């Protein structure tokens, strides 16, 4: 076969598989949206679910997902940034750092249900936190930590050596160089990775079945004191998230409109994940252009 012919054949195969993957993705999204968008309205987004009657919504589950996202990122961001900065700027190449990177890679490949079982045994039972939002946030932190560490480390390593050497030549301390020179340049990549990690929280269900729970007690949205048991901001109450609710409705829902509720909730979940991914791309590009223009 002639080189030009082989190149055309290879290009055609690559384009075919790329279009095939895109078609599968669009087909999945289109199927979910067509089934679910017609059931989404303000009542559906704000009302509580019904067990045996029609007309239930996903209000508490949607709030639980958003609140769990906030709790998870409050824990994940400082730990991920600290570990990534240490691996990029302070850790010396040796067996210890190689072991840490190996552990991070292994942890990132763990099935979420295994992480959830670990959370059930350790966080729920040993630590005594029970089925709660805090237990779910802690297990999702374990789930998202490898991504945050890798993103932060790669962001700091992507900064050119000349900028770091310029700071050293000016007599700046290492911490000053990190906070004043390296961090602003690495910020677009870090923000993009953080938003992508946050988007994974919405789609997670298996780990939360064993930690956050599969029920939501009656909560009073007029009481925002986190110390009260019925307050929506109480981090130690059980909380059924949107992804868990979809699984529960599909598996054991007995309401007459259970299929419609699951379809609408699935469409809301997909929309939220798409918003996070598009926001990550837009914000990352905006920050990159901003810091590139400054430099």
Where do the structural domains in the chain lie, given as residue ranges? Answer: 40-294
H/E stretch holding 29: helix 3-36
pLDDT, residue 279, reads 80
Mean per-residue pLDDT, 258-287:
84
Say what the pTM is: 0.86
Average pLDDT over residues 220-246: 86
Distance CA 92, CA 82 (A): 16
What are 96-148's pLDDT values in tens digits?
Answer: 888 888 887 787 778 888 888 999 999 999 998 889 999 999 999 988 888 88
Cα separation values, 143 from 140, 172, 230, Å: 5, 36, 28
* Cβ–Cβ < 8 Å for 80, 152: yes
Which pLDDT value is given to residue 18? 92
Per DSSP, the residues of 213-237 read -S------TT---TTSTT-TT-TTS
Provide the pLDDT for residue 50: 84
CATH 3.40.50.300 fits 40-294, yes or no: no
**Cβ neighbours for 130, distance < 8 A, ≥ 6 positions apart:** 124, 236, 238
What mean pLDDT comes out for the span 1-21?
A: 86
Tens digit of each residue's pLDDT (9 = 90 or more) over 175-220: 888 888 888 888 888 888 888 788 778 888 888 989 998 888 888 8
pLDDT above 90 (res 224): no
Longest C-alpha distance within the chain, in Å? Answer: 75
pLDDT at 211: 92
Q: What is the pLDDT of residue 131?
A: 92
Q: What is the pLDDT of residue 294?
A: 53
- Per-residue pLDDT band at 283 (split at 50, 70, 90): confident
Whether residue 71 is predicted with pLDDT greater than 90 in this model: the reply is: yes
- Report the Cα 255 to chain-centroid distance in Å: 30
- Work out the pLDDT band at 273, boundaries 50, 70, 90: confident
pLDDT tier, 57 (very low <50, low <70, confident <90, very high otherwise): confident
Give the pLDDT confidence score for residue 292 in this predicted structure.
60
**Residues of the chain above pLDDT 90, percent:** 18
> Is the pLDDT confidence value at 285 over 80?
no
Say what the pLDDT of residue 295 is. Answer: 53
């Amino acid at each position: 076969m002639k080189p030009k012919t082989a190149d055309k054949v290879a290009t055609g195969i690559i384009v075919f598989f790329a279009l095939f993957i895109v078609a599968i993705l669009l087909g999945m999204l289109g199927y979910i949206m067509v089934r679910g968008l017609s059931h989404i309205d303000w009542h559906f987004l704000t009302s509580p679910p019904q067990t045996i009657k029609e007309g239930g919504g996903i209000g508490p589950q949607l709030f639980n997902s958003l609140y769990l996202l906030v709790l998870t990122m409050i824990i994940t961001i400082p730990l991920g940034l600290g570990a990534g900065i240490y691996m990029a700027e302070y850790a010396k190449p040796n067996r210890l750092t190689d072991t840490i990177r190996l552990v991070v890679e292994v942890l990132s490949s763990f099935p979420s249900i295994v992480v959830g079982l670990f959370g059930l045994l350790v966080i729920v039972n040993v630590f005594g936190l029970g089925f709660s939002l805090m237990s779910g946030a802690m297990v999702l932190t374990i789930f998202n930590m490898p991504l945050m560490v890798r993103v932060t480390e790669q962001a700091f390593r992507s900064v050119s050596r000349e900028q770091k050497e310029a700071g050293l030549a000016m007599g700046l301390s290492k911490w000053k160089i990190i906070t004043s020179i390296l961090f602003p340049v690495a910020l677009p990549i870090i923000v993009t990775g953080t938003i992508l990690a946050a988007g994974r929280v919405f789609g997670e269900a298996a780990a939360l079945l064993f930690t956050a729970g599969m029920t939501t007690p009656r909560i009073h949205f007029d009481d925002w004191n986190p110390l009260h048991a019925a307050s929506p901001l109480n981090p130690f109450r059980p909380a059924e998230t949107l992804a868990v609710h979809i699984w529960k409705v599909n598996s054991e829902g007995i309401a007459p409109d259970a299929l419609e509720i699951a379809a609408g909730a699935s469409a809301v979940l997909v929309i939220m994940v798409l918003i996070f991914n598009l926001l990550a791309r837009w914000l990352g590009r905006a920050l990159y252009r901003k810091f590139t223009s400054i430099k």
